[in-house]
Each structure stands twice: as structure tokens, then as C-alpha cells.
Amino acid sequence: MSTGVTVQLEMAGGHSSVSIDLYNSVTTMDDLVQERVSRLQAYEHDTTFIIANIGTLYSQLSKWKELMPRVKPFYALKCNNDPVVTKVLADIGLGFDCASQSEIEQILQLGVHPSRIVFANPNKHMSHLRFAAQNNVDLMTFDDICEVLKIKQSFPNARLLLRIKTRRHFRARHTFNKKFGCDPCLVRSLLIQCKQLSVNVVGFSFHIGSLPEENSYFTTTIADVSDLFQIGEELGFRMTILDIGGGFPGVDTEKQSFQKVAKEINEALERHFPTSRGVDVIAEPGRYFVTSCYTLAVQVMSKKVVAESFEANDQNVKMNEHTIVNEHIIVNEHSHQNGHIYQNGCAPDNKLTLDSQSEHTNGDSHIITNGHTSANGHIQVNRHTSANGHAILSNLDTVEKHRFQNGLSHENGRIERPDHETAYVYMYFINDGLFGTFSNVRTDQLVARPSFLKDCDTKAMHTSILWGPTCAESDCVMKECLLPELRVGQWLFFQNMGAYSVTQACGFNGIEPPLKFYVCDQKTWDLISHEIDLAASQG
């Protein structure tokens, strides 16, 4: 748990310091989330929050230096521009990949030297180029003659990296060949024009794609670029920088790990760019550094149990759209319009017609769906209806006599149903969604995987849906997943949420961004503090 020690990280630009809570090495994320939940509940807050573990930033850099020491990382600020995250990354020595004047300003305000910034946007505003020139941020990318002419006008002394397209068969979650890059077959002619304009081309850059499918893409592209370096050298350019871009995994998986990627890159560099060639190698990792930094905690705001609505089809009833029911599945005692069932008071065009064989009456005042499936898997309606053969599904609270109807038992606020019951889906509404921190679910097709605090019974799992808090039906965080039954007010948390989450959030419907709590384990903080002190002593 927390050591009870809070340190202050001094922010640049006159901003106030930020508190970082230190914890001991045996503390789990479950412990950290539960501790914050307890604090919030004491003040009756129900705001979603992020635990930002800045210790992971240092750990990732240590791994990078160990496994790929020759490649200098320039962190891609677009991935996560959290001021505390960027402050720590700057203090421990990273360079930065910036794509706009605003991003460059943020990094310069941290006291970062301009030589530690690459302006890695092949298509830049003229005003942004002028700002870069005024602040001597001179390393930048381009991919066509139009950009060269702009740079020649605004920043003639800039050092240029020609970004090339990678091979067309490369597959990744996000590919960039359509929008960016010079085709390798056009490199010679473009470099000839650069020579005629007397601009300073110093190397090449590429990007194999974000979340690539194969580590070998680095090997192939490094080999391709080696040939292009020779073209530049033949034309009289002094080629000294190779930028291998991004595409590094944020977390290791069975298929891809940073260790495997680093091995591929090291071998390719040794083969095609040995140190004797005099080429400095840089990269633009984003998600590698920050994915594991963020853990997002959310609260269940609302809960519905839904059944699939029924569509008459011979003697079977097909599942169609969701019908809202309450946890006890009862039927309103009111009935309307002969021969039809209405879902929770829906309009007549949503009516559900019972076939003639099912319209037996017994004087009962309600109809219950029995939840059993027919041979072909269709849900059937119980063949007892109210006196006039009609009913409306209702969300009204049940009474005690309904506790065991339809095979459902309600004990201690939970629902137990037979193993063969498949008709009902649990819908939970949480206080963050696709227009907020879960924006990476939409853009990365990320599969969000929740974790639960110790008070959650995870023995029984149910088909569930997690909805975000906005009015948009597209705001769905998890579709058709298996979750334990959750209660309103319960907290769950999602790890590895640091990449392309907060930077893409838009605040739709006025949903507020999450609170942030910064933490670090005591041992790692001591190492970070040493790096900060060392950097300060070196100016």
C-alpha cells in the first residue's frame, strides 16, 4: 500500500508542483484503485479517475537502453501529452517527436533543448515552420517538393529527413502509406531537386505502421533504406540520421514483444548500418512508453437487464431487438389491443403477435416469458396470457410472489438463473466512454478488458454490454462480453490505457475528463530523482 509519503514534482513554466504518492513494492493495482475509491467515497465523489504510474516510464526507458542501446527514442507526444508524463520523460533524457507548434511549445517550456525535438510532420503550417525556425527546432521531415519549397522559404537552414513509403503488403492496425511518404522509386528525382534548391537533407525516416502484424517489417525497411542512403550520398548529401519511426508494442503479447522487435532491429542495423557508417539512429515510440502508465477506474452508473424482443415465426419466436425488463422479469397487469404484446409500452409498430396456438387464457393477470429455447434455438413465449390475451413487459418492481417465477431466484440482490437460460443480457452504463478515455477502443479497435476489486463475485458470468455515459448509441465500450453481475455504484478498472486515450477525448455531451492521481514505487522514484538531479547539474 501507500508508504504515506507524497513527493512534489516541480513543473516548468511557472505551474504549481504536482503531488506523487509513493507506494511500496508489494502494492498491487487492486490496492491502489481501492485506496482511491475509498478516498472518493469519503467525499461522495463518483468521478472516473486515472492512476498514472510514472514508474513505468522509467522502467520502459531502462528496458529500451538495455535491449536497443544504439537507437535514441524521441517520444511521440501525440500519443499522450499529459504534462506530468512529458515532464518526467524530459527529465530522464528522452527526445520528442512533435507534429505542431503547440506540441513544440509544450516541450520547449519544459526546458528541453531544441536538438532533442524532431518536427515529424511531413505537411506543416507555414506559421509552424516559422516558429520552428525562431526556436531553432531544425530537424524535420518532408516527403515531396511542395514541402521542400515551404521549408526553403521559412527555414532554409533546417536539417531534413525524407520520409519514404514502406512496402505495400505491410499490415498494421494503422497504416500511413496512403497519406505520407515518398515512393522509393521517386527518391532520386526528389533528391536531385533538393540538391538544386541547396537544402540540407541529412537522412531518411519511415513508419511501418502502428500496431504492425510482423516484426520483420523493420528488417525489410531498414534494408530498403540502406540503398536509398547510397543514392543520397552519390548526389553529395551527407547522410547521418536514420529515423525508424514507431510501431513498438506498448505491452508484450505472445505474438509480439519488445525484446523480439529489438532483436530484429539490432540485427538489421548491424548488417546495413554498422557503426562504422557514421549514421545516428533515432525512433519515435509512443505507445511503448505510456500504454502501461495509465489505469482507468470507472463506476457503474446504471444497470438494465434486457431480453431480446420476439418476432412471430410459425411456432417459434425469434430474438430480435432488445426489450427492457427488470431484474425480476414481471409483466404489467394492464393489457391493450387484442392479440398483441407490447414491450414496455412501445408503439404499435413494435407489437409482438402471438400465434393462435399460444393464445390460451387462464384468467391470470400476467404473462411470463419462460426463457426456454426451441430445437432451433429460438426463444418461445410461455403459452399462458392474461384474460384478454395481452400484456405489456414492464420495469415495475416485482412483488415477493414472483421471486421464483420463470426459473429466476432473487437472493441478496442477485439473480440466479438456470444454465439453459440465454435470453437475458446485462447492460451497464459506466461514467467514461468512447468519446472520453476509451477513445482508443474506437480508433485502435482495442478490446477493453476490465478488472474487478476484491468485493466482486466473479464466479458466475453473464452476457453483458458496457455502455459509455453519452447519448450516442455508438458509445459502446464492450459488446457482448462475459462479466460477473455488477451492481450500481460498483467500481471496475482497465489497465494499459495510456496510449491514444486522453489525447483523442472530445468531451461530447459535456462529460468531464477523469481525475488523475500520480503514483510511483519508492525504489523507482529514487532512481528518477537521481536522473533529474543529474540532468539539472549538467544544465
Residue 336, SS3 per DSSP: coil
The one catalytic residue among 471, 476, 481, 520: 471
Residue from 354, 387, 294 nearest 33 by CA: 294
Distance, in Å, from the CA atom of 475 to the CA atom of 322, rounded to the nearest integer, reads: 17
Q: Is 98 a known active-site residue?
A: no
For 379, which DSSP code? Answer: B
Neighbours of 334 (CB within 10 A): 13
The x, y and z cell numbers of residue 217, run together, are 517489417
3-state SS track over 57-93 = HHHHHHHHHHHCCCEEEEEEHHHCCCHHHHHHHHHCC
Backbone angles phi, psi at 347, to 5 degrees: -70, 160
The count of C-alpha atoms lying within 13 angstroms of the C-alpha of 9, restricted to the half-sphere facing its C-beta, is 27
Q: Label the pairing between strands 391-393 and 331-332.
A: antiparallel
Q: Which amino acid is at 193?
A: Q
Distance, in Å, from the CA atom of 360 to the CA atom of 385, rounded to the nearest integer, reads: 6
Residue from 54, 60, 4 nearest 526 by CA: 54
DSSP track, 416-457: E--TT--SEEEEEEES--TTTTTHHHHHH-----EEE-TT--
Helix, strand, coil percent content, the chain, rounded in steps of 5: 30, 30, 40
Q: Give me the active site residues, please.
A: 471
